[in-house]
Structure 1
Amino acid sequence: MPSDFQDNKKRQIGISFALKGIKEVIRTEINFKVHLLIALVVIILGLFFQLTSIEWILILLTIGFVLTFEMLNTAIERVLNYLAPEIHPVVGTIKDISAGAVFVAALTSIINGLIIFLPKIISLFQ
């Protein structure tokens, strides 16, 4: 039976790997940086418009989904580039599907943002 110290050490190692992966994506992926910038703007708008708890939950879940899909897309692309460095139509299709998943998440986030923010923006001009 592992001790609490060993469990704690394993958790710390897992967290350090996760943080290393996040740093790598931030450092190397322009699309991830764009998504982070947009997320920051949305969070600032949320503070300005004083979103409700439910609206914050929806916004933060949406941001989390987009960032997660972007990271998964990056991981899939890197695995495929490693396993099949040559151009192959099946690899291209897999990458397209992976990018499509990010696009669907981003499009959904735009729709969620419009549903939450558009009425608040319109009310500023009335």
Structure 2
Amino acid sequence: MTHMKLSRFFRSFQYAAQGIYAAIQKEQNIRFHLLAAVVVVLSGWLTGLSKTEWLIVILLIGGMLAFELVNTAMERVVDLASPELHPLAKQAKDMAAGAVLVFAVASAIIGLLIFIPKWF
């Protein structure tokens, strides 16, 4: 890789980190999901999850955070493109939030299926 391409490659990580930081600073839902992730990781550690269970939990946590970041980005783009209230803008934002909710509910159900048998 040339120096220019390498520099651009590492700069893309910096931009991604800035996006994550901005979301954490401004979005309550991201902070909630991060707190939930900490609770799940601590619970998994105390429960003694198997390697496969850890893989599933990590995928669910990563997916949830990624969905939340995409939802936040979608909200920003919609707000920029349609600063005035518009039914289609509302639908787009609601649908993105709905995708987050679907993944959150599925993640919670999978988490319960992993943890409850180990607790009882």
Shift of 1:50: 1.2
Name the Cα RMSD after superposition. 0.9
For normalisation by structure 2, the TM-score amounts to 0.97
What's 2:62 paired with?
64
Shift of 1:37: 0.2
Q: In the alignment, residue 61 of structure 1 is paired with which amino acid? A: L
Shift of 1:108: 0.8
What's 1:54 paired with?
52
1:84 partnered with 2:74: no
1:115 partnered with 2:98: no
Provide the identity percentage. Answer: 40
| Mapped partners of 1:75, 1:20: distance in 2 | 13
Shift of 1:52: 0.6
Mind listing any 5+ residue stretches in structure 1 that lack a counterpart?
Answer: none
Shift of 1:6: 2.3
1:14 partnered with 2:12: yes
Q: In the alignment, residue 9 of structure 1 is paired with which amino acid? A: S
| Mapped partners of 1:57, 1:120: distance in 2 | 16
| Mapped partners of 2:98, 2:88: distance in 1 | 15
Shift of 1:32: 0.4
Mind listing any 5+ residue stretches in structure 2 that lack a counterpart?
Answer: none
| Mapped partners of 2:54, 2:5: distance in 1 | 33
For normalisation by structure 1, the TM-score amounts to 0.92
